[in-house]
Amino acid sequence: MYRKCVVCGKRASIVIERARVGFCEEHFIEYYERIIKRTLKRNGFSGGRVLVAVSGGKDSMALLYALNKLKDDLGIEIMALHIDLGIDNYSIESRRAVEKLLKELDIKYIIVSVKDYLGVSIPEAVKFVRKPPCSVCGLVKRWIMNKVAYENNYDYIATGHNLDDVSTYFLKAMFTYRYEDIVRGNEVISPPKPELKMVGRLRPQIFLTEKENLFYCEVNGVPYVDLECPLSRGALLKKYKTLWETALKLNPMSQYNFTRSILSIKKKIQQEEIEIKPCKICGFPTTASDGVCSFCKLREKIKIMKKNK
């Protein structure tokens, strides 16, 4: 089924089950980029300065390549940001892949290290706290991305969250009754709030799957790292893989529709305005009731624990 490209009738190189179509390489690229543009435009995006966060994995590498190609179309000016997490070989390889693509595309970029901001690398940091590694790494990256983007006058940070990520995040939030996680975050676009030193967010691949991002890299010769983070990155996705496979067998649109349903619901919910204020230490936005953001709390904690060692 769907053995032929829906556009030109040539042999299909990829099948998009949820849309019940096949594409040859050329028309897949068209499709992929159309989805990126549509996702942004339908959510009211009208351009600006965009800092693209690239980890070196297939999703963000595809994103950087696509946004660079579409920059005139979208009315954006881009710069890439790579954060070196300091996770042994994984980070070395990631950085190498990112640098390779940056050189090829001849894009402006910044490479920073977690250690420069936090005092320690991610593997060291996770030893000091009881939180799961992905949660520590996530909060550190978000803080660094926002700081770098803000200080370089960028309006938005674009990240490579894909349909598998976002649908799983939402499903888990429902399965664990974390109402806040359903209502907050993971929008296609969060507008910038410069008065709060808060850069906006773009998730242009929210309606594209892992598989599609991978194929987009392959057909465009985009390099990417295929390593798994040794600190168990993607653990959540793996846990939910069988579940989504079962769901997609029931209905190939289930994952896509589920995500759309949540996004529609979110738009209708009367958001209780959560007070965002500047962190007492770093001045970047926080919702913490004690006025100190999670990044500064982590940094202080690590400082004290290192001193006491």
Contact footprint for a copy of itself (CB under 8 A):
173-177, 179, 182-183, 239-240, 242-243, 246-247, 250-251, 253-254, 257-258, 260-262, 264-265, 268-270
Least CB distance from residue 99 to a copy of itself, whole Å?
Answer: 39
Q: Which is nearer to a copy of itself, 42 or 96 (CB)?
A: 42
Q: 105 vs 253, which CB is nearer to a copy of itself?
A: 253
What's at 41, amino acid-wise? K
Measure the CA–CA gap between 114 and 91, rounded to whole angstroms: 11
- Any bridge partners for residue 84, and if so which? 113
Q: How far is the CB of 282 from a copy of itself (least distance, A)?
A: 32
Closer by beta carbon to a copy of itself, 135 or else 257:
257
* C-alpha of 157 from chain center: 9
The least CB distance from residue 277 to a copy of itself, in Å, is 24
| 208/293 with CB nearer a copy of itself | 208
Cβ contacts of residue 75 below 8 Å, gap of 6+? 46, 47, 48
For a copy of itself, the closer of residues 89 and 242 by Cβ is 242
CB of 242 to a copy of itself, least distance (A): 6
DSSP state letter for 285:
E
Report the nearest approach of a copy of itself to the CB of residue 20 (Å). Answer: 15
C-alpha–C-alpha distance, residues 78 and 13, integer Å: 30
35-39: list long-range contacts, CB under 8 Å, 24+ apart: 35/207, 35/208, 36/66, 36/67, 36/70, 36/204, 36/205, 36/208, 37/70, 37/73, 37/74, 39/188, 39/204, 39/205, 39/206, 39/207
